[in-house]
Amino acid sequence: MTQTNQRLVAALDLGSTRMLAAIGEVTGDPRNPGVRVLGVGSERSTAVRRGVVRDIVEATRGIERALKDAQLMAGVEVGTLYCGIAGEHVGGRLSHGVVSITGNEIRTADVARVNEVAANVAFSRDHELLHAVPQDYLVDQQAGITDPIGMSGSRLEAQVYLVTVLSSAVANLQRCIERAGFRVGEFVLEPLAGSLAVLTPDERELGCALVELGGGSTNVAVFQHGKICHTASLMFAGGHVTSDIVHGLQVPQQDAERLKEASGAAYEPLVSDAETIDLPSGPGQPPRPGSRRVLAHIMHMRLQEILELVGDELGRSGLRPRLGAGVVLSGGGALTPGIVELARDVLALPVRVAMPGPGLSGLTDRVASPRMTVPVGLLLYGAKQALQTGGFGAVARRSPAVDKVIGPVKKWLQDFF
Ligand SMILES: Nc1ncnc2c1ncn2[C@@H]1O[C@H](COP(=O)(O)OP(=O)(O)OP(=O)(O)O)[C@@H](O)[C@H]1O
Ligand SMILES: [Mg+2]
């Protein structure tokens, strides 16, 4: 295997149904970061469920395999990874800080100070800060200031969106990754990473919700004025759709999964009564005919319920009226035919399906799926970090530069977006 150059970036998405690894080479510049996709690896695994490790040995094995495949495809070795994090243990809240200004203009140090004050809040003992995203500054009570440096004023206030995670959940993910022989450069909130892969700058600016329909959870994140301002994880997702098919059609789990992916539909009116599907019978028996419309009905009902929960979450956030750019659907569930029609019906907003592509070159066909939103976003996040700081995240295993990477958690996203 060839030794790496220093412009590599590597990503790991530990999903509830499979683990995805991706390796790329950083291209572009800090304003327009890009990635040449070199390799991807995918390993079916249920060892991490909704962001929490259920089985350390299995999770370690899954990570090893996914990365082995990605490294083989890429022809390079990596040592440090950007790892996605999500799940119900992730919390988000807006915090407010205020400081007085003594000089005659606001300096960088004052902004850093007010950010620190805003982030210096008590979390519950078992949680820690993952990201702090400054939203808005107020100078002498005048709001709507994005960059106060150089302004005059005596009072500086900051609104900062804080994302926290359960410390033990992060520690266990890190342990599995290290046991597999890799290091975590940084944990990144999955929708934050995903937004870099699939949302346009206009969507992020105008207001938009990124809804990731995964296997174990449905993640909702709202972006406005270019920044993430709300996140929530709902515990109903693709796994519930599969269970409903198991019960509704009386088929084993594996067949339900296969039927869902091969013949499923999310919007019943799109399927005619005449369409048939093959349902498994007993051993040695030929398949029995079933109705695709019934399959669509089962999926429609459950996906409608999930999307209603998404709508409730958007309502609770108070941000629903500000979603000028509507909703973008990602994750495996976004592959279901008819999901856009259903989501438009339920949410009464413009809806489209996410597709990684912008900023990418190389093996783009391997990542052109809404399911690849998080790993691609992590690569772009890493590329942006590397281009902004001059350090590269996925240096070779034995390179001394490994030690220079940023700490795993607590990342200020001051100038990131
Ligand atoms: N073609 C398809 N049609 C419908 N559903 C699909 C299709 N492909 C995958 N899915 C569903 O998508 C889900 C998996 O999505 P995804 O890979 O985004 O989840 P995950 O990352 O493993 O889980 P999570 O993010 O919830 O931890 C599964 O429930 C799977 O059945
Ligand atoms: Mg996922």
DSSP string covering 345-367: HHH-S-EEE----TTEEESGGGT
pLDDT score, position 18: 97
Q: Give the model's confidence band at 402: pLDDT under 50 very low, under 70 low, under 90 confident, else very high.
A: very low
* Ligand that lies nearest to the alpha carbon of residue 51, given by its number in the listed order: 1
Would the pLDDT of 237 be above 80? yes
* Ligand that lies nearest to the alpha carbon of residue 193, given by its number in the listed order: 2
What the block records as the tokens of 244 is 């409903």
**Mean pLDDT of the 352-370 span:** 97
Q: Is the C-beta atom of 49 inside 6 A of ligand 1?
A: no
Q: Is the C-beta atom of 264 inside 6 A of ligand 1?
A: yes
* CA–centroid distance for 282 within its chain: 40
Would the pLDDT of 275 be above 90? yes
Would the pLDDT of 353 be above 60? yes
Tell me which of 301 and 406 has the higher pLDDT: 301
pLDDT score, position 411: 62
Would the pLDDT of 145 be above 60? yes
Ligand 2 midpoint to CA 328 (Å): 15
Of all residues in the chain, the percent with pLDDT exceeding 70 is 92
User: Could you read off the pLDDT of 299-310 as tens digits, one per residue?
Assistant: 999 999 999 999
Residue 290 β-bridge partners: 277
pLDDT score, position 3: 40
Ligand 1 midpoint to CA 68 (Å): 22
pLDDT score, position 285: 85
Would the pLDDT of 2 be above 60? no
Q: Is the C-beta atom of 371 inside 6 A of ligand 1?
A: yes
The answer to whether the beta carbons of residues 166 and 133 sit under 8 Å apart is: no
pLDDT score, position 5: 56
Ligand 2 midpoint to CA 286 (Å): 36
Instruction: Among 18, 173, 190, 260, name the best residue to mutate to test ligand 1's pocket (greatest count of ligand atoms within 8 A of Cβ).
Output: 260
Q: Is the C-beta atom of 408 inside 6 A of ligand 1?
A: no
pLDDT score, position 4: 47
Q: Give the model's confidence band at 6: pLDDT under 50 very low, under 70 low, under 90 confident, else very high.
A: low
Ligand 2 midpoint to CA 145 (Å): 35
Backbone angles phi, psi at 249, to 5 degrees: -105, 0
Would the pLDDT of 344 be above 60? yes
Would the pLDDT of 267 be above 80? yes
CB atoms within 10 A of CB 160: 26
Of all residues in the chain, the percent with pLDDT exceeding 90 is 86
Q: Is the C-beta atom of 260 inside 6 A of ligand 1?
A: yes
The answer to whether the beta carbons of residues 218 and 330 sit under 8 Å apart is: no
Q: Is the C-beta atom of 239 inside 6 A of ligand 1?
A: yes
Of the given ranges (74-88, 228-242, 384-398), which has the lowest mean pLDDT?
384-398
Instruction: Among 19, 83, 261, name the best residue to mutate to test ligand 1's pocket (greatest count of ligand atoms within 8 A of Cβ).
Output: 261
The whole-model pTM stands at 0.93
Ligand 2 midpoint to CA 271 (Å): 28
The answer to whether the beta carbons of residues 323 and 223 sit under 8 Å apart is: no
Report which ligand 1 atom has the smallest distance to the Cα of 239: 29
Of the given ranges (73-77, 83-87, 115-119), which has the lowest mean pLDDT?
115-119
Residues whose beta carbons lie less than 5 angstroms from ion ligand 2: 15, 214
* Ligand that lies nearest to the alpha carbon of residue 243, given by its number in the listed order: 1
| DSSP three-state, residue 388 | helix
List all residues 6 or more positions away from 400 whose beta carbon is below 8 Å from its beta carbon. none
Sign of CA dihedral 49, 185, 63, 254: positive
**Mean pLDDT of the 21-35 span:** 94
What the block records as the tokens of 339 is 């999901």
What the block records as the tokens of 350 is 């413009």
Q: Is the C-beta atom of 60 inside 6 A of ligand 1?
A: no
pLDDT score, position 399: 33
* Ligand that lies nearest to the alpha carbon of residue 45, given by its number in the listed order: 1
Q: Give the model's confidence band at 214: pLDDT under 50 very low, under 70 low, under 90 confident, else very high.
A: very high
pLDDT score, position 62: 98
Q: Give the model's confidence band at 141: pLDDT under 50 very low, under 70 low, under 90 confident, else very high.
A: very high
| DSSP three-state, residue 136 | strand
Q: Give the model's confidence band at 398: pLDDT under 50 very low, under 70 low, under 90 confident, else very high.
A: very low
Of the given ranges (28-32, 109-113, 358-362), which has the lowest mean pLDDT?
28-32
Strands 127-139 and 183-189: unpaired
CA distance 61 to 56: 9
Would the pLDDT of 196 be above 60? yes
Sign of CA dihedral 63, 65, 66, 68: positive
Domains of the chain: 8-88+167-199+355-412 (3.30.420.40), 91-163 (3.30.1490), 202-353 (3.30.420.40)
| Average pLDDT in the chain | 92
User: Could you read off the pLDDT of 317-343 as tens digits, one per residue?
Assistant: 999 999 999 999 999 999 999 999 999
Q: Give the model's confidence band at 400: pLDDT under 50 very low, under 70 low, under 90 confident, else very high.
A: very low
Strands 91-100 and 80-85: unpaired
CA distance 400 to 88: 36
